[in-house]
Amino acid sequence: MPAGAGARQSGWAAVLAGAAGAWIGARFVEEAEAGRLALWLPVAFALGVSVYFAASNEPALWAAFGLVGATGVVAWAARRGFTTAWLALCLLFVALGFLGGKLATERATAPILAGAMRAEIVGRVIEIEPRARGMRRLTIEIDAFGKLEADARPHKARVAIAGKPEIAAGDQVSLTAFWRPPEGPVRPGGYDFARVAFFKGVGATGFGARDIRNLGPPARVGMAAAANAGLERLRQRLTDRVTRAIGGAEGTVAAALVTGVEGPIPQNVQDELRGAGLSHILSISGLHMALVAGALFWLARAALALAPRVALMWPVKQIAALVALAGATFYLALSGAEVATQRSYVMIAIAFLAIIVGRPALAPRNFALAALIVLAIDPESLMGPSFQMSFAAVAGLVAWFETRRDRPPAPPPADRFGRIRRKIAAAVALAIMTTLIAGFATGPFAAYHFHRVTPYAVVGNALAEPVIGLIVMPSVVAGLLLAPLGLDGLAWAVMGQGLSLVLAIAREVSSWPGAEGGLPAFGEGAMLLFAFGLAWLCLWHTTLRWFALVPLTLATVLAAAPARPDVAVDASGRFAAVRAPSGELATLGPGSGRSFAAKVWIAADGADPPPKGAASDVRCDRDGCVAPLIGGGLVALSWEPSALEEDCRRAALVVTRLTAPPGCSTTAAVIDATVLASTGSLSLFRYGATFKAVAARDPTGRRPWSGTSPSTAPPVEASTLTFSAQKPKEIKHADELAVDPTDDPEDEAAGEEDQ
């Protein structure tokens, strides 16, 4: 190429780069003048929280304070420069988020049960939750735990019980059960039950309860504890009242909407709601809180407007906002104040406070302030699907309503019927658009956490949400207002009819072909790109927002081709799964196809339901199981010492809940109790003769909720193996074995994930 041509191309490139930089700078100034930069401060705070929870070892408190101090000094020094001041302020909020996560951990730190044990406990019941199969799950504040000293005794424990005696919140009980510390993720990157339990103060979970005795109310109890017990008893009475008044599946769904107590909703109803994209109605969240508070606001404002003197002399709108805020506060307390409900309440409270002071209720700054308050109060909630999906939906809706507000209104039709038709069409379009936007915003998070897609969710929500908004939730408000007078029966009857229609919609939509499908689990990198792209799209106001297509496209590409493990191992070493030649996961273990771990693995693999044919090459006997590996060799799951010697000699990979003999690792890659104690559950990826392990927790690190010290268990070491032809043992099909009677159905873990 001639030198002159190269110089001209370089010159044009410089001109284009300069023009692009000037254009971006001008848009950035527009965003700043509109006050949009402040909307990124909660994002920076959330980034700091994420960095804290991603750490392998627990950061020191002094280091977190030091980070805040250092970034504070930088922010002060950079205060005079526009761009540098904003960037420095974002860094300060990253440090504040990191400190917020650390302080939340310090507040929650409490003893965790050191290991599995059977023991008698004595304590006060603080919560009762109905579960499937007539079970109840008790949350107990512990007074005595076997022979454990006070400094080793968990503060709270959860246990599932069946049958009598009758127990109410506030009663003191004693019972004997098999206890264990809360378990970590069933698979690496999965829902961390141990971390969630840690921040709820639960240090032990139990099953197989017996010798249950109700000791009655404790002799002495504090005022706050007595108030909480009274409120919990009110919730239980109202739950029973609603369930009996409505009956059937509608009654259990109604109880979930009124008091937040999710009773034993039939599995087929849960499946139908999920298939129609309506499972979110079972958790009291933004939709329910907004409908209840909105109904109270409308009723109070209409009632005050009936008195002309009051309407002229008093700030009716502000008074109605106060009434609605008080009602929302009562609904928060009555519904159990779960984390999702608390977040919804904070957003509703900020909206009504904005009305009281004469500001717009639905504004981006209000949303950003709500996110910042929720993260400051409960940083750990950032890591769960509830926070991510609720704020993603609100961010999308606020951004869309903001663009609609900027458009000039269309001229109204001249005739009355034309105006009515337009209002009806606008209401239908609004329902469809809000469903589409919320679905787009929450879809990546739902796929990441639950590995499911519901293509007809738009149809299901468009049909069901008008029923929920116009019949079901107004009936909740009417029932709660009339319950003290004993006149609530009609309200519950109307609510039951509305829920019957909602369940009929769910039944119909979920029956359509392709109503629900699975997605293989994708990595955190794709999820972070999705989150960043969504934030960029919603928080900017100018054409800068369309640069969000870059991270969103990259995230889609990464999520479309995730790495799928060749072998999965649960933290106990009792269950495993291996990639079959068909490409599907075959599960190994006692009754493994029905175990909670198997359900999680199969869902994360994008399969629905676990195909029976996938386990055809799995062979099991009373000593363990074997299955062929893709690429040659066998994986052996050993339960008994007598099987270990042969498995170590013949298998390429040995998984056992026992401690393997030292010589075993010279002939096979070994995952035994020692390895699993430091790693938790494992996903293994095979590269030729090598297995690459991805662990649920860093084997060299320790967090307060992990319950394992790296000093007591060495990290797993990579093994390079060569294989030769091997014959499987003469053993039976896995399906011919009975379920291990000690296999816990993981009701505790499943209940946590539902929340």
Compute how many other C-beta atoms are within 10 angstroms of the C-beta atom of residue 44: 19
Residue appearing with tokens 């879809």:
443
CATH 2.40.50 fits 117-221, yes or no: yes
CB burial of residue 4 (10 Å; 0-12, 13-18, 19+) = exposed
Q: What pLDDT does residue 735 have?
A: 33
What average pLDDT score do residues 117-139 get? Answer: 84
What average pLDDT score do residues 57-74 get? Answer: 94
pLDDT higher than threshold 50 for residue 714: no
What average pLDDT score do residues 38-45 get? Answer: 93
Better pLDDT: 618 or 701: 618
> Contact 589/575 with Cβ under 8 angstroms?
yes
pLDDT higher than threshold 50 for residue 429: yes
Strand order in the sheet with 634-638: 669-671, 653-656, 634-638, 624-628, 619-621, 732-733
Compute how many other C-beta atoms are within 10 angstroms of the C-beta atom of residue 61: 13
pLDDT digits (tens, 9 = 90+) for 183-218: 888 888 888 899 999 999 999 999 888 888 888 777
Cα separation, 134 vs 27, in Å, equals 60
CB burial of residue 444 (10 Å; 0-12, 13-18, 19+) = buried
Q: What pLDDT does residue 724 have?
A: 29
pLDDT-derived band at 307, boundaries 50, 70, 90: confident
Task: Give the distance from CA 275 to its chain's centroid.
Answer: 18
Average pLDDT for the chain: 81
Q: What percent of the chain has pLDDT over 70?
A: 86
Cα separation, 366 vs 251, in Å, equals 36
Task: Give the distance from CA 11 to its chain's centroid.
Answer: 52
Task: Give the distance from CA 32 to its chain's centroid.
Answer: 34
Q: What pLDDT does residue 29 have?
A: 78
3-state secondary structure of 90: helix
Helix/strand/coil percent split, the chain, to 5: 55, 15, 30
Compute how many other C-beta atoms are within 10 angstroms of the C-beta atom of residue 327: 20
pLDDT higher than threshold 60 for residue 753: no
pLDDT higher than threshold 60 for residue 709: no
pLDDT-derived band at 428, boundaries 50, 70, 90: confident
Q: What percent of the chain has pLDDT over 90?
A: 18
pLDDT higher than threshold 80 for residue 652: yes
Looking at the chain, the number of H-run helices and the number of E-run strands are 24, 18
pLDDT digits (tens, 9 = 90+) for 517-546: 888 888 888 999 999 999 999 998 888 889
pLDDT higher than threshold 90 for residue 285: no
Q: What pLDDT does residue 664 have?
A: 79
pLDDT digits (tens, 9 = 90+) for 664-698: 776 778 888 888 888 888 998 888 778 888 888 87
3-state secondary structure of 637: strand
Q: What pLDDT does residue 553 have?
A: 93
Q: What pLDDT does residue 528 have?
A: 93
Apex CA 439: angle with CA 434 and CA 445, to 5°?
140
pLDDT higher than threshold 90 for residue 156: yes
What average pLDDT score do residues 709-714 get? Answer: 38
| From 276-285, 518-527, 740-749, the region with the lowest mean pLDDT | 740-749
pLDDT-derived band at 1, boundaries 50, 70, 90: low
| From 130-134, 369-373, 441-445, the region with the lowest mean pLDDT | 130-134
> Contact 289/338 with Cβ under 8 angstroms?
no
pLDDT higher than threshold 70 for residue 610: no
